[in-house]
Amino acid sequence: MRSSLSITILIVIALLTSCDSLFGYASGDSQEGTVVDAVTDEPINDAFVIGQWSTSGIERTICFHLAMTRSDVNGKYFLPAWRKKSEFGSGDATVALHAYKAGYRQQYSDPDGHLYLGNRLILVKLDDPGEDKKSRIAVIRETARQVACGSAGESEKNVTGFYQALYREALDYTGGEETEDLLYLREKVEQYKLGYDKASERYRTDLRKLMDKEKDRQLPEIRIIDNTDESVRGAGRINENEK
């Protein structure tokens, strides 16, 4: 009896070990640096900084983890190291850093096209009062898209505040008027409050309504001609004097 129980325990341990071996451990080092203004080189405080750890898979780049912080009064930021089980692989991940603050955009390369390396994040102030609002909202949406990380699991919740800030700025630009970009940003905010499925369903429903409105606006105006008017009825007659 005791021998049978021992064998059973060993089988259970073997099964658990086998299941655990299906998962690797992905990890990422801590990140720290400074957010600065592209023109003045002055530090920028209260900017969002998002760390996006990923590695190259067989067919695509896989994002493992997202983390968010805010820069302090000296523009400094810090993101802690992490380690977790991953079904996508194991090993150290590389990190992409994104910085955002309302009224700014991130500059990833210098005027010659060389990428900025290291953890010094550059923001460009948008002080042109005549800036096209649609273009700015498109930039905001692209900022959200770059950070999106569907395989990050629960850690994607870490950037909810970032999505909310993007959505608020887009609302200011549109005055609340619905656009495709605005609906996309709203979905990113609501995916944790409502759940992915409900947020996605709401996005698709409102997008269809928006597209129907746009289609109606583009339809040509239909004019009904009242041909009971004497001038219209006689338009094809030959003038008696011209015979």
Rounded to whole angstroms, how far apart are CA atoms 99 and 84? 24
What pLDDT, on the 0 to 100 scale, is given for residue 80? 92
Q: What is the CATH number of domain 25-217?
A: 2.60.40.10
Query: Is residue 19's pLDDT more than 90?
Result: no
Number of alpha carbons in the 13 Å side-chain half-sphere of residue 204: 6
Where residue 114 falls among pLDDT bands split at 50, 70, 90?
confident
- Residue 20's pLDDT band, with cuts at 50, 70 and 90, is very low
Q: Give the span between the Cα atoms of 198 and 110, in whole angstroms.
A: 42
Query: For 130-174, what is each residue's pLDDT tens digit?
Result: 667 777 888 898 889 888 887 777 888 889 999 999 999 999 888
Span 83-93, mean pLDDT?
62
Question: The whole model's pTM is what?
Answer: 0.73
Query: Can you tell me the distance from the alpha carbon of 180 to that of 185, in angstroms, rounded to the nearest whole number?
Result: 9
What is the mean pLDDT of the segment spanning 176-185? Answer: 86
Q: Write down the pLDDT at residue 58.
A: 56
Alpha helices in the chain (DSSP H): 2-21, 133-147, 160-174, 180-193, 196-218, 230-233
Q: Where are the strands (E) in 108-158, listed by range?
A: 120-125
Distances (CA, A) of 27 to 24, 61, 89, 155: 10, 15, 11, 13
Strands 31-37 and 120-125: parallel
The yes-or-no verdict on residue 110 having pLDDT over 90 is no
Domain boundaries, given as residue ranges, for the chain: 25-217
Share of the chain above pLDDT 90, in %: 28
Q: How far apart are CA 123 and CA 100, in angstroms?
A: 8
Question: CB 229: neighbour CB atoms within 10 A?
Answer: 10
User: pLDDT class for 31, splitting at 50, 70, 90?
Assistant: very high
- Counting residues of the chain whose pLDDT is more than 70, the rounded percentage is 70
Check pLDDT > 90 for residue 101.
yes
Q: What is the mean pLDDT of residues 13-36?
A: 65
Are 126 and 60 in contact by the 8 Å Cβ rule? The answer is no
User: What's the confidence (pLDDT) of residue 232?
Assistant: 42
